[in-house]
Structure 1
């Protein structure tokens, strides 16, 4: 599976009654597709997978697949409680997704053998390839990732831990298997801040939360990154991403909440986040608007 461009994680819109708003979701994805993401990841972290029922996740994925229409890969979220994960995996396959992103199991942490069993049971639930998300209750050792990479259905790792030494060893462990079809992603919050370092250890892909709310700014950074234009990349980091991260770090969960607020500021009424996340205050929303305007001004 090849990805050429920024990885786009859409938000999940909710209507006034708190239901998934499929029409707004289609608009959100369709409008952002015009900015040429390398892949679409519905019902994942930014899409509030943690707060969706299995049937809601299935609805989100089906709408995404239909809207994307095969233009780029669609990688659906699954994970959490194992039964929920299996149900979401099967539904994503039925909806026509191209792959699964396996989020960490719910609440408990297991041994490395237990984590392998968790991934392999999800992989066996459908015929879709899977990408494992290395973070939280699913932190894999390099040896475990090498073991998983022996399974051809496991096609990638997304790193959300931020330990560069371990990430480097994971890349090398997969290289020992001889696989050349394995994808590595930087999945840290606001990954643009760390992507220069990740590229240096052999992880060229990254997910961009900013792409969901200001795709033109995210693409400007991506072009500078790909072209090696470090002057422009640093300008965007200093004047846009650094203040965005400072605001994000004020409140737990703002890695999702700010993105949804940014989409609302862009004119799409995607509704609030679901509990336990909270939306930005009016004052924080004003500051977010100023940061987004500053980013656009740099273009």
Structure 2
């Protein structure tokens, strides 16, 4: 069996802001340390959840540097993708210089390249930046799917080490897993609701939104599945299910920013054009977070 470089749980970190919109680096570093202490396998700053679309290039690099400096023993996978290959290359080089251990590269969005264009884009980055790289396929955001043939061809490049699968197409993801089993190429769920189903067909872990507020449960679920304990993994999957659904009732990262605030991890401030979570959804989200916290207290009480 081929050993994968990426396995387990990688929270897609939020970028916390002060009320005036500046990055709250103190909270960012505290989040990184909290998640590392909870047992995650790595951290993913400045992706979609980290509001990369509204960060300047300098802010991108500053966030990566802060997370790298905050953690002791987990890899930092920096989001450095763009729909402009030259811009993605610049961001990737700067992230590498800032100490990132790997890169997460969203497929080019809006301009909708053909599959040959996707191959050229990713090969250029992999040839020029000597870090492990994860192809991120989320066609609901980009308007273009990374087809299985393209993913499989990219898997043969020594610097392309993984695929973040957020297409919602289990058949397509299963095909990519099947056809890359002999490669050192990890397939990671990019959709929290699909993490357990994808693990059951051979995925290696997840880049997770819910892990920002429930890192222990997420790690326990993924770890159980990877160890073959699907009874425990299913129980944890269903425990997390209502919260996971609430985290996507509005555009990510709107709900997770609110959830972090409810849990005491920074302000709910989010950069325009996104807006704060609506009040009815806020109340339901708070109830779900309370339910899980009460379950933890009950479990600890029973353990005594």
Q: Give your verdict on TM over 0.5.
A: yes
1:263 aligned residue (257, 260, 264) = 260
- Aligned to 2:253, the other structure's residue is in SS state helix
In 2 relative to 1, CA 2–59 (structure 1 residues): closer, same or farther, beyond 3 Å?
A: same
* 1:106-255 map, 5 Å: 106-136=109-139, 137=142, 138-175=144-181, 178-179=182-183, 181-188=184-191, 191=192, 193-226=193-226, 228-238=228-238, 240-251=239-250, 253=251, 255=252
How far residue 103 of structure 1 moved from its aligned partner, in angstroms, is 0.8
1:75 corresponds to: 77
Aligned partner of 1:298 in structure 2 is: 295
1:103 corresponds to which residue? Answer: 106
- 1:12 positional shift: 0.3
**Equivalent residue, structure 2, for 1:49:** 52
- Once the two structures are overlaid, the 10-residue window that deviates more, 278-287 or 112-121, is 278-287
> Deviation at 1:119?
1.1
- Unmatched segments (≥5 aa) in structure 1: none
Per-residue deviation, residues 103-134 of structure 1 (Å, max 9, x unmatched): 12131111110001111222234221211012
Name the CA shift for 1:39/1:288 in 2 (closer, same or farther; >3 Å). Answer: same
Q: Distance in 1 between matches of 2:47 and 2:16?
A: 13
Number of paired residues? 289
In 2: Cα distance, 1:5 partner to 1:174 partner: 18
Instruction: Indicate yes or no: 2:29 matched with 1:26.
Output: yes
Q: Secondary structure at the match of 2:100?
A: coil
1:283 aligns with 2:285: no
Contact 2:8 2:204 survives alignment (8 Å): no
- Cα offset for 1:201? 2.1
**Counterparts of 1:56 and 1:63 in 2: how far apart (Å)?**
10
Preserved contact between residue 38 and residue 73 of structure 1 (Cα < 8 Å) = yes
Tell me, yes or no, if the aligned pair for 2:199 and 2:225 is still in contact at 8 Å.
Answer: no
Cα distance change of structure 1 residues 218 and 143 upon mapping to structure 2, 3 Å threshold? closer
Q: What is the Cα-based RMSD across aligned positions, in Å?
A: 2.1
Q: Measure the CA separation in 2 of the matches of 1:211 and 1:249.
A: 14
Q: Which has the higher contact order (CA 8 A, sep 6+)?
A: 2
Give the aligned partner of residue 5 of structure 1: 8
Instruction: Please state how far the C-alpha of 1:249 moved relative to its aligned partner.
Output: 4.5
Superposition deviation, residue 92 in structure 1: 0.6
Give a deviation string over 1:160-210, Cα, whole Å, max 9, x none.
1021111122123223xx42x21110111xx2x323321232113112212
Assess, with a 3 A threshold, how the Cα gap between structure 1 residues 24 and 298 changes in structure 2: closer, same or farther.
Answer: same
Query: What's the TM-score once normalised by structure 2's chain length?
Result: 0.87
SS across alignment from 2:161: strand
The unaligned stretches of length 5 or more in structure 2 are: 297-304
TM value normalised by structure 1: 0.88
Deviations 1:221-265 (A, max 9, x none): 345434555555444444x433224434433x1x31111111111
